[in-house]
Amino acid sequence: MSVYVKEVYDKLSKKYPWEKEFLQAVKEVLESLEILLEKEPKYQKYAILERIVEPERTIIFRVPWLDDNGKVQVNIGYRVEFNSAIGPYKGGLRLHPTVNLGILKFLGFEQIFKNSLTGLPMGGGKGGSDFDPKGKSDNEVMKFCQAFMNELFRHIGADTDVPAGDIGVGAREIGYLFGQYKKLKNEFTGVLTGKGLNWGGSLVRPEATGFGVVYFAEEMLKIIKKGIEGSRVAISGSGNVAQYAAQKIINLGGKVMTLSDSNGSVLIKNGLDQEKWEFLMDLKNVKRGRIKEMADKFKDVEYYEGQKPWKLGKFEIALPCATQNELDESDAKELVKNGCLCVAEGANMPSTPEAVNVFLANKISYAPGKASNAGGVATSGLEMSQNSIRLSWTREEVDQKLHNIMINIHRTCYETAKEYKTPGNYVNGANIAGFKKVADAMIDQGII
Ligand code: NDP
C-alpha cells in the first residue's frame, strides 16, 4: 500500500474496527486506486479519500410495530446517505436479521462507484433494518413497512434520496413503503423504484439485475472468444437476482445447473428448463418456500443441505447471486480446477478477497458486483427518468437501454484496466472508472 492509502485505511480501521465488511470493501477500492493516485496528486490534495469513506449523513431510528398477536416489536432502521456528488442518493433497502450499520456502509460505499459506472446521475446510498420478513404474515410485513416509513419519509424524496429493493425487499414491500410515503407526504412522486407497473414502475425492473449480470458475462466471454450457449452455469441464491439471471441463461442456450438458499443447494442434473423455472418462481415468490422443495418435485434435482453450489460439479460460468462473502478461497480454487472461465457477481461482494486473488492469479474473467450487477440500479435510474417525464417506455426499449448500459460498463472497465496497465483486471477498471467521475465532481463542488 502507498503511504497515503495506508494512512487513510489505518485511520478508518482504528475508528470502525467492528465494521468488517465495510473495511473489506474500502480496502479493495483503495488498493485499486493506488495506480491512479500516483498519476493524479490532486485527489490527495483535496483529501478525496478521507472524505469519500465517510457517509455524508447516517440516519438511525427506532421502528416499533404491532405483530399479529398484538405484541409490540421493535427493530432498528437505517439509511446511509453516502455520497451525492453526481446525483441524489440511490440504493436499496435490505431487510434481514444480519443488517447492521457496517453492512449498510459497505453496501452504500459500493453503490457510489456502481452508480457512477452506469453513466446515470445517481449518488450512493443504502438502508434497511434487522427486521426478518421470513415467516411473517403479509399484515406484519405491512405494519413493519409503514412504521419504517413513518420515520424514513422525512429524509427521502425524488430529488434527494430514492431507495429501492434489496434482500428481503421486493414488489410487496415497495408497495407498502410507497403507500405510506404517499399518505404521509400527500404527493405521488417517484420516491422509490421497483414500483408496480400500474403505479409508476418500469417494465424490466424486476428482471434487470439478473439480466444485466448475464449481459455483462456475455461481454467478458466475447473477449476470450467463448459464449453462453452450451455452457454449464452455477448460480447461487434463488431470489430476485438469481431467478432472472437463470431465465436469461436459459434463453441464451446455457445450462443452469445449481440454485441455493440459506439452507442448502440444488444440483439440477439436466439443467433448469422452463417448467422448473416456473416452479421456482411460484415456490419463492408466492409460496415463499425453500429450495429443497425443488428436489421433492423433480427427479433429476438433488438437494445438498448446508452446502454452497461451487463444489457440486464442473461449471464454465459461476454467477454468485445470494449474499456477501458466500464464495471463499477454497470454493474459488475448486471452480478454477474444474475449468471455470468466467465469474460475474450478481450479489454485492460475494467473493472474499482471497477468492478474488485466486480468480485474478488464474486469469479467470472475473467481474466484481459493482460492475456486473449495476443493471438493477441502472434500470431504477430509467424508472426515475420515466417518472419525471410521465411516460412509460416499452419492454423492448427498456431492455435495449439496459443492454447498452451493460455493454458500456463492460467497455469502460475493460478499457480503464488496459489504460492503467492491468489488462483484464475488471476490479481495477471498475474502481478507477467509478471513482474518477465522483472524485472530480467532489473537487468541482468544493469542500462540503
Ligand atoms: P432476495 O431476497 O430476492 O434473494 C436473496 C437470496 O439469497 C435468497 O435465495 C436467500 O436465501 C439467499 N441468501 C440471503 N442471505 C444468505 C446467506 N447468508 N447465505 C446464503 N444465502 C443467502 O435478494 P436479491 O436477489 O434482490 O439480492 C441478492 C443479492 O444481489 C444481494 O447481495 C443484493 O445486495 C444483490 N443485488 C440486488 C439487486 C436487486 O436489484 N435486487 C441489485 C444489485 C445487487 P433465503 O431465502 O434462505 O434467505
106-165: pLDDT as tens digits = 999 999 999 999 999 999 999 999 999 999 999 999 999 999 999 999 999 999 999 999
pLDDT score of 292 more than 90: yes
Residue 386 lies in a domain: no
CATH code of 283's domain: 3.40.50.720
Nearest CA to ligand 1 atom 19: 262
Q: CB of 238 closer than 6 A to ligand 1?
A: yes
Residue 399 lies in a domain: no
Residue 62 lies in a domain: yes
pLDDT score of 7 more than 90: yes
Position 221 confidence tier, pLDDT thresholds 50, 70, 90? very high
For the CA of 348, the closest atom of ligand 1 is: 32
Residues 6+ positions from 208 with CB-CB distance below 8 Å: 244, 375, 376, 378, 379, 380, 402
Partner residues linked to 140 by β-bridges: none
Among 352, 372, 392, the domain-final residue is: 372
* 31 and 59 together in one domain: no
Nearest CA to ligand 1 atom 47: 262
Residues 6+ positions from 422 with CB-CB distance below 8 Å: 35, 428, 429
Q: Which residues are catalytic?
A: 126
Cα 266 to averaged position of ligand 1 atoms, centre (Å): 16
pLDDT score of 241 more than 90: yes
What's at 439, amino acid-wise? Answer: A
The angle at the Cα of 435, spanning 429 to 437, to the nearest 5 degrees, equals 110
26-50: pLDDT as tens digits = 999 999 999 999 999 999 999 999 9
For the CA of 377, the closest atom of ligand 1 is: 42
Task: Give the mutation target among 106, 117, 167 for probing the ligand 1 site: most ligand atoms within 8 A of CB.
Answer: 167
* 10 and 116 together in one domain: no
* 171 and 259 together in one domain: no
* 224 and 367 together in one domain: yes
152-199: pLDDT as tens digits = 999 999 999 999 999 999 999 999 999 999 999 999 999 999 999 999
Residue 276 lies in a domain: yes
* 135 and 244 together in one domain: no
Residue 194 lies in a domain: no
Mean pLDDT of 331-356: 98
For the record, the C-alpha cell of 349 comes out as 461482494
- The burial class, CB within 10 Å (0-12 / 13-18 / 19+), for 337 is exposed
Whether this prediction's pTM lies above 0.75 is answered by: yes
Residue 173 CB neighbours (<10 A)? 23
* 229 and 322 together in one domain: yes
Q: CB of 166 closer than 6 A to ligand 1?
A: yes
Mean pLDDT of 245-274: 98
Residue 219 lies in a domain: yes
Using an 8 Å Cβ cutoff, are 263 and 273 in contact?
A: no
* 258 and 343 together in one domain: yes
Position 1 confidence tier, pLDDT thresholds 50, 70, 90? confident
Residues 6+ positions from 429 with CB-CB distance below 8 Å: 371, 412, 413, 414, 415, 416, 417, 418, 420, 422
Residue 420 lies in a domain: no
Residue 193 lies in a domain: no
Using an 8 Å Cβ cutoff, are 78 and 99 in contact?
A: yes
Q: CB of 124 closer than 6 A to ligand 1?
A: no
Percent of the chain at pLDDT > 90 equals 100
Position 10 confidence tier, pLDDT thresholds 50, 70, 90? very high
The angle at the Cα of 274, spanning 268 to 279, to the nearest 5 degrees, equals 75
Q: Tally the domains of the chain.
A: 3
Cα 245 to averaged position of ligand 1 atoms, centre (Å): 13
* 46 and 90 together in one domain: no
* 75 and 108 together in one domain: yes
Q: CB of 352 closer than 6 A to ligand 1?
A: no
* 110 and 127 together in one domain: yes
Give Cα separations from 430 to 111, 118, 442 (angstroms).
12, 11, 19
Nearest to 202 by CA among 407, 402, 384: 384
Average pLDDT along the chain: 98
Q: Which domain holds residue 151?
A: 55-188
The three-state DSSP-derived secondary structure of the chain is: CCHHHHHHHHHHHHHCCCCHHHHHHHHHHHHHHHHHHHHCCHHHHCCHHHHHCCCCEEEEEEEEEECCCCCEEEEEEEEEEEECCCCCEEEEEEECCCCCHHHHHHHHHHHHHHHHHCCCCCEEEEEEECCCCCCCCHHHHHHHHHHHHHHHCCCCECCCEEEECECCECHHHHHHHHHHHHHHHCCCCCCCCCCCHHHCCCCCHHHHHHHHHHHHHHHHHHHCCCCCCCCEEEEECCCHHHHHHHHHHHHCCCEEEEEEECCEEEEECCCCCHHHHHHHHHHHHCCCCCCHHHHHHCCCEEEEECCCHHHCCCCCEEEECCCCCCECHHHHHHHHHCCCCEEECCCCCCECHHHHHHHHHCCCEEECHHHHCCHHHHHHHHHHHHHHHCCCCCHHHHHHHHHHHHHHHHHHHHHHHHHCCCCCCHHHHHHHHHHHHHHHHHHHCCCC
86-113: pLDDT as tens digits = 999 999 999 999 999 999 999 999 999 9
CATH code of 83's domain: 3.40.50.10860
* 105 and 44 together in one domain: no
359-386: pLDDT as tens digits = 999 999 999 999 999 999 999 999 999 9
Cα 167 to averaged position of ligand 1 atoms, centre (Å): 5
47-90: pLDDT as tens digits = 999 999 999 999 999 999 999 999 999 999 999 999 999 999 99
* 258 and 297 together in one domain: yes
Cα 93 to averaged position of ligand 1 atoms, centre (Å): 12
